[in-house]
Amino acid sequence: MADDIERVIRVEHWDPFQVLGPHPTSLKGEPATIVRAFLPEAVEAKLLPDGIGKTPVPMVRMHAAGLFEATLPGAGEPLRYRLRVRDHWGGITERHDPYAYPPLLSDFDLHLFAEGRLYHAYDTLGAHVRLVQGVAGVGFVVWAPNALRVSVVGDFNGWDGRRHPMRSRGSTGLWELFIPDIPEGSTYKYEIRPREQDAPFLKADPYAFAAELRPKTASIVRDLSGYKWGDQAWMDARASSDPLSDPLAIYEVHPGSWMRVPEEGGRWLTYRELATKLLPYVKDMGYTHLELMPITEHPFDGSWGYQTTGFFAPTSRFGPPEDFMAFVDTCHLAGIGVIMDWVPAHFPDDPHGLAWFDGTHLYDHQDPRLGFHPEWRSRVFNFGRVEVRNFLLNSTLFWLDRYHIDGLRVDAVASLLYLDYARKPDEWIPNRFGGHENLEAIEFLKEFNIVVHREHPGVLTIAEESTAWPGVSRPTYTGGLGFSLKWNMGWMHDMLDYFQLDPVHRKYHQGQITFGLLYAFTENFVLVLSHDEVVYGKKALLDKMPGDPWQRFASLRALFGYMYGHPGKKMHFMGGEFGQWWEWNHDSSLQWHLLQHEPHQGLHRFVRDLNRLYQAQPALYEVDFDWSGFQWIDFADAEQSVIAFIRRAKDPSQMVVCVCNFTPVPRHGYRIGVPEPGPYRELLNSDAAVYGGSNLGNFGKVQSDPIPCHGLPHSLSLTLPPLAILFLKPS
C-alpha cells in the first residue's frame, strides 16, 4: 500500500481507485470503511456522509502533499458522501468524490473496442454529461495506451493534473473517470504523462463535441441530447429513397466566405444566420443539396478545414453545436440535403491534436515513409490499427447519427489508396506483396462504406478520387470500394481545358468534349466544378473563358448547360453561378455586388432555370449511370464544333434532346436526326435575351421533317445560337 500511495502522490498510478475513495477495513475488530482523498490544494478536509443528522467527520492529513483519510464504522451499503475542502486561499467548497463511483465502461464495451467494432464509441468515449448514482457530472474516457498517467484538467480544477488522475482499463489502453458536479460548458483537456519523458503535456479530446475558438484549443463539455429535431419526415423519406435515380444538384459552400457582414468588420455569418440567408438562396436557385467544405474543428483558417483536429466537433467559428443542428434541421425542412466534406486521409501536427498523442505515434505511423504526408506536411492515419479505424468510423457515424447529415464527401481518396502518392521513389515502402496499394486503407474504405450504408440507408458517400482506380463506386461484394458516387475529375479538367480555348481552335479538340462518354458509365460519377479550380492562380470560371465579355458569359452558360445535359450528378462551387470575376478567397465574401449588373443577373437566371429544368425532366437525372439513358445523335461535326445527343428517363419515351454549338458563329438550317416525329418544344435556350444572350433560337418550337439524318428516321432543321446549348423535347 505504501508504494501505491507514493505513486498516487507522484501522480503516476495507473489506477488511483486502488488507493483513493472508499475501501473496506476494520475498526477495533469491527467492519468499517476508510476513505482517502488526494487534495493537494487543501489545508483542511472533512467528510460529509449523506443523510439527515450525519455528523461531518474530520479527515486526517496522512501526507504533506495532501493525502487525507477518515475511517467510518460500519460497512455493507455503499457509502454516500461529499468532501468539504478549505483551500490555501481560504475558499471552502463542497464536492462529491470522483473516486467513489463505479467504472463507466462495461466489459462488453472493452471487448468491442479491442475488436474495432465499437461503432458507437462516441456514446461513451470523450466527455459525456451523466447522472451516476443520482449525482450529475461528466464521464471522461480517452484512449492513450502508452501513457504512464492521464489526468483530466480544466477550468473546474485549476488545470492541475494532480487533482483528477484517471483509471486505466488495462490492455485496451482506455482511461476513464467520472467527475461529479462539473457543469456543461466546462473547458478541459487531458494531461498526459508519457513513459519516455518526465514532463506531461496537454491534449484536446479526440472525441470532443465542441472546442474553443482558435487560437484557443481546449475542448468543451457539450450535451447534444437537448436539441429537438423536426425533420422526421425528411429522414423517413431519405431512408426509402434511391438517391442514384434522384436529381442531385449540389451547391458547394465554404461557410466562412459565402457571405460576410461588412457592417461588423467583415465577420462570419453564424450557423443560424446561414440558415436564414444561405438556405433561401439555395432553394430559390433550384439546388437539391448543399455541400459544406469541412466544418469539423480546425486550427488554421487557411486550411479551409482540411487539416482537422476535431473529428466530432463542428467548428466554433459559426456557433455552438446546437446551432449547427438547427442549420441542418432547417435545410431538411426546406427540402435541401446536407453533404459535408470529411477528411480521413491525414491530420495536422498541432501540439494539442492527435499527433504524438500519448508520447508515441498513436494515430499515425512512426516511419515517415508511411506516416508523414510530404505534400500537405501532415500525419497519415495508421489504418493497420483497429482502434484508429474505429475512431474514424465513429466519426462518420457520429455526423450521420447526431447531426442527420445526408452525405459524406471523402477528401483525397487517392492519397489513401496509394502508398507512393505524392512521394519520391525513396519516400515510401511497398506493401507486403511489393505493390504500391495501401491494403489497410483499402479495407478501411470498404468497411466505412459497408457500415454507413447498413446503418443509414439513403445516405450518400462520395469519393474525391483522381486516378483510374477501378470500382470506386461499385459494391464491395463485387470487389469495389462501395462508394455511392465518385467525383469525375477527368471530365472537369477536360471541360476547363476545352472551354479555355479560343473557339477558332476548338474544332481541333472535339475529342476533349466527347471523351468523357467513353468512360461515363464505368463509375457513378458526379460532374464537378469545384473550389480547387478557382484558386492558386487558376482564375475564376468566368475569367477562364476566352473572348470579349459577351463571349465569356455565353461560354460559361454553354459549359453549365452541357454539364447538366451530360450523364452524371452535378456540383457547382459558390460564386460560379453568377460569374464571380475574382478567384475565391477564403478571407472575404463573394462578389455579391456584381449582381447589380445585367450580364451577371442573366447568368444567375440561367443557372436557376437550368436547375429547375433539371429537376423537372426525369430524362436528365433518372438514368445517369447506364448507356440506356444516353444516345449520341452526332459527335463528329468538329469543323463546326457542334454536338447533339439524347437523354432518356427510365421510361425511354421520356427524352430530352441536347444540341450544343461551341463557336460564336450562329448556325441556320442545321439539321439533326431525331427518333420521334412531331413538334419539339424548346425547353431552354442559353442564348435567350433574359440570360444575356443574342436571343437567337427557334421561336420556342420546331416541327420535325420526315427526312432521315444521323441514322434516325426523322430530323429537325434548327437555328443554333452562338456559344449556346438548346434543350428540346417532343410534345
Pair 71, 128 in one domain: no
Question: Residue 350 domain-assigned?
Answer: no
Pair 173, 72 in one domain: no
Pair 122, 35 in one domain: no
In 3D space, the residue among 667, 701, 696, 660 whose CA is nearest the CA of residue 557 turns out to be 660
- Can you tell me the distance from the alpha carbon of 276 to that of 279, in angstroms, rounded to the nearest whole number? 6
CATH number of residue 114's parent domain: 2.60.40.10
Place of cell 458507437: 120
- Can you tell me the distance from the alpha carbon of 533 to that of 335, in angstroms, rounded to the nearest whole number? 28
Confidence at 29, pLDDT banded by 50, 70, 90: confident
Of 198, 226, 254, which residue sits at a domain end? 226
Question: Residue 576 domain-assigned?
Answer: no
Place of cell 477518515: 70
DSSP, res 381: B
Which pTM does this prediction carry? 0.94
Q: 686, 554 in Cβ contact below 8 A?
A: yes
- Can you tell me the distance from the alpha carbon of 10 to that of 193, in angstroms, rounded to the nearest whole number? 11
Pair 64, 126 in one domain: no
Structural domain including 60 reads 2-96
pLDDT of residue 198: 81
pLDDT of residue 76: 57
The DSSP bridge pattern shows strands 126-132 and 167-168 to be: unpaired
Report pLDDT digits (tens) over 341-396. Answer: 999 999 999 999 999 999 999 999 999 999 999 988 999 999 999 999 999 999 99
- Mind giving me the DSSP string for 404-421? ---EEEETTHHHHHBTTT
- Can you tell me the distance from the alpha carbon of 124 to that of 446, in angstroms, rounded to the nearest whole number? 25
Q: 505, 550 in Cβ contact below 8 A?
A: no
The number of domains in the chain is 3
Pair 82, 132 in one domain: no
Pair 665, 710 in one domain: yes
Pair 28, 88 in one domain: yes
- Can you tell me the distance from the alpha carbon of 383 to that of 365, in angstroms, rounded to the nearest whole number? 9
pLDDT of residue 162: 94
Mean pLDDT value across residues 600-604: 98
Annotated catalytic residue 406 = no
Of 170, 192, 226, which residue sits at a domain end? 226
CATH number of residue 637's parent domain: 2.60.40.1180
Pair 111, 92 in one domain: no
Q: Which of 69, 252, 411, 523 is catalytic?
A: 411
Pair 115, 92 in one domain: no
Question: Residue 68 domain-assigned?
Answer: yes
Annotated catalytic residue 411 = yes
Res 455 pLDDT > 70: yes
Of 41, 71, 96, which residue sits at a domain end? 96
DSSP, res 165: B
- Can you tell me the distance from the alpha carbon of 394 to that of 119, in angstroms, rounded to the nearest whole number? 6
pLDDT of residue 78: 73
Q: Which of 329, 387, 464, 577 is catalytic?
A: 464
Average pLDDT, the chain: 95
DSSP, res 634: E
**Residues above pLDDT 70, as percent of the chain:** 99
In this structure, of 24-38, 247-261, 556-570, 673-687, the range with the lowest mean pLDDT score is: 24-38
Question: Residue 311 domain-assigned?
Answer: no
Pair 158, 86 in one domain: no
Mean pLDDT value across residues 286-294: 98
Question: Residue 184 domain-assigned?
Answer: yes
Question: Residue 84 domain-assigned?
Answer: yes
pLDDT of residue 410: 97
Question: Residue 553 domain-assigned?
Answer: no
